[in-house]
């Protein structure tokens, strides 16, 4: 067995060479492989944050063949192709020079016969002139945008992945979509990745794309799929960890393969398993070790500014009512709701479930329904101020009466960073 480092085996921020999980039951790879054979279609992959969209495309087209462009970097229609040519290493302009030279030479010769007695002597003399002239011409060739991309990439294995199309300003989305259609029709592989509620943005921007887009929908990973990551990786490090601990970690990863990779990496660090062990060893983690591993992993999920704002809530002049929690800590309605959210690793919490959590947290003396709904709406507004163009990581869905945490890393941070407990301790 080759010696590997734990950082090579578990890779939350790069392609998982040793721990890629093929989710056979969902046929995602098969659909993409068929698409690569008829690249005049645009592939549209939608899925939640940290669900492995980019890794899936890398797996199919090859890591070295993927040209990724973020929609956030496109602020004009032609900028998309500028970003592609940047990746390709194409200079912004090239200057060619040509030097033409010409030499003109003229010679004049004269001679005389010297008539001296007893001699036969002659003398010749001459003069010459030369004119040298040169002419330099220069031509500058600039990038040609889409036509140049077609020239370089059409009918090749290279794939352009436009991540988060909805980052692109709405005013130019239609123009960009038209250019994507043109590029695909001319043989350039085009793939668009997005979050689920933005999945059809490219088609909405250009309705004539309907029928020209292959839609592939990803979802959060099942616990069984997440468990495949340590199942593949741990034997490569000569390590066996008890199943109960791995089950807990899979639950805490909340459907995110990236987060599961991070947990496994920190588990190896905690155990001192930095490279392949010889001979192999088995480990049973106790509750304290599990919590330490999860706490260490939370250092990779920094949401301090957002969580601090959610805990504090809006600025008000009057004092807020304080609720006593089951562990003896206290908090106002905002901190109390955030602690209730962190009780279980769930990404969508309906109001009825939230009220049950609040009831358990506050031993029955919890905020009333109306106060909870108002506070949840306010929390959503606060989170929106921190949101990336993809949308907030924490929001209140008014029609569904649900709290939605779209980023598993935020849920993980709430549960394991101790930020909420630290704030509650300061108020107790």
Residue range 253-307, pLDDT digits in tens: 999 999 999 999 999 999 999 999 888 999 999 999 999 999 999 988 888 889 8
HSE of 138, CA atoms in CB hemisphere, 13 A: 4
* Local confidence band at 89 (pLDDT 50, 70, 90 cut-offs): confident
pLDDT of 98 over the 90 cut: no
Pick the CATH number of 24-88+144-217 from 1.10.260.30, 3.40.50.10800, 3.90.1580.10, 3.40.50.300: 3.40.50.300
What pLDDT, on a 0 to 100 scale, did the predictor assign at position 129?
Answer: 61
E strand spans, 176-329: 189-194, 213-217, 239-241, 281-283, 323-324
Between the two ends of the chain, the Cα-to-Cα distance in Å is: 54
Output the CA angle 196-179-41, nearest 5 degrees. Answer: 60
The tokens of 49 are what? 């944050």
Q: Which CA distances in Å does 337 have to 72, 331, 404?
A: 33, 9, 13
Cα 79 vs. chain centroid, distance in angstroms? 19
Q: What is the mean pLDDT of residues 70-93?
A: 81
Query: d(Cα 180, Cα 185) in Å, to the nearest integer?
Result: 9
% of the chain beyond a pLDDT of 90: 31
Is the entire prediction scored with pTM above 0.85?
A: no
* Residue reference for tokens 């069984």: 224
Q: Are 45 and 193 in contact (CB under 8 A)?
A: yes
pLDDT of 365 over the 90 cut: no
The per-residue pLDDT for range 151-203, each reduced to its tens digit, is: 888 888 999 898 888 778 888 888 888 888 888 888 889 888 887 766 666 77
Domain ranges of the chain: 24-88+144-217, 223-298, 316-427
In sequence order, the β-bridge partners of residue 96 are: 139
Largest Cα–Cα separation, the chain: 147
């Amino acid at each position: 067995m080759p010696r590997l480092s734990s950082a090579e085996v578990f890779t939350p921020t790069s392609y998982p060479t040793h721990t890629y999980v093929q989710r056979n039951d969902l046929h995602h790879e098969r659909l993409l492989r068929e698409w690569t054979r008829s690249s005049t279609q645009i592939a549209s992959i939608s899925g939640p944050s940290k669900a492995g969209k980019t890794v899936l495309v890398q797996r199919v087209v090859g890591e070295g063949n993927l040209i990724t462009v973020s929609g956030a970097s496109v602020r004009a229609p032609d900028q998309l192709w500028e970003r592609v040519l940047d990746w390709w290493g194409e200079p912004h302009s090239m200057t060619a020079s040509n030097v033409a030279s010409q030499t003109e030479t003229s010679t004049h010769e004269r001679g005389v016969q010297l008539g001296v007695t007893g001699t036969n002597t002659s003398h010749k003399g001459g003069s010459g002139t030369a004119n040298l002239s040169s002419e330099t011409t220069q031509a500058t060739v600039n990038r040609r945008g889409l036509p140049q991309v077609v020239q370089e990439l059409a009918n090749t294995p290279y794939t352009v992945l436009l991540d988060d199309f909805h980052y692109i300003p709405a005013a130019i989305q239609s123009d960009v979509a038209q250019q994507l259609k043109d590029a695909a029709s001319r043989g350039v592989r085009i793939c668009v990745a997005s979050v689920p509620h933005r999945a059809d943005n490219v088609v909405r921007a250009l309705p004539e794309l309907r029928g020209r887009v292959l839609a592939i929908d990803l979802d959060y990973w099942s616990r069984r799929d997440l468990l495949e990551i340590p199942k593949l990786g741990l034997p490569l490090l000569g390590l066996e960890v008890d199943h109960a601990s791995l089950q807990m970690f899979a639950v805490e990863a909340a459907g995110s393969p990236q987060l599961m990779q991070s947990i496994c990496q920190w588990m190896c660090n905690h155990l001192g398993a930095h490279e392949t062990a010889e001979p192999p060893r088995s480990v049973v983690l106790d509750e304290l070790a599990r919590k330490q591993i999860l706490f260490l992993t939370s250092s990779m999920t920094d949401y301090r500014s957002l969580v601090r704002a959610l805990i504090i809530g809006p600025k008000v002049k009057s004092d807020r009512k304080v609720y006593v929690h089951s562990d003896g800590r206290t908090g106002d309605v905002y901190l109390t709701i955030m602690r209730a959210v962190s009780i279980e690793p769930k990404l969508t919490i309906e109001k009825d479930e939230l009220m049950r959590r609040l009831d358990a947290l506050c031993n029955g003396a919890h905020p009333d329904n109306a106060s909870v709904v108002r506070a949840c709406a306010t929390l959503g507004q606060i989170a929106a101020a921190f949101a990336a163009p993809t949308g907030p990581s924490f929001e209140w869905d008014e029609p569904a009466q649900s709290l939605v945490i779209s980023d598993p890393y935020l849920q993980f941070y709430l549960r394991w960073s101790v930020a909420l407990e630290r704030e509650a301790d300061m108020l107790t």
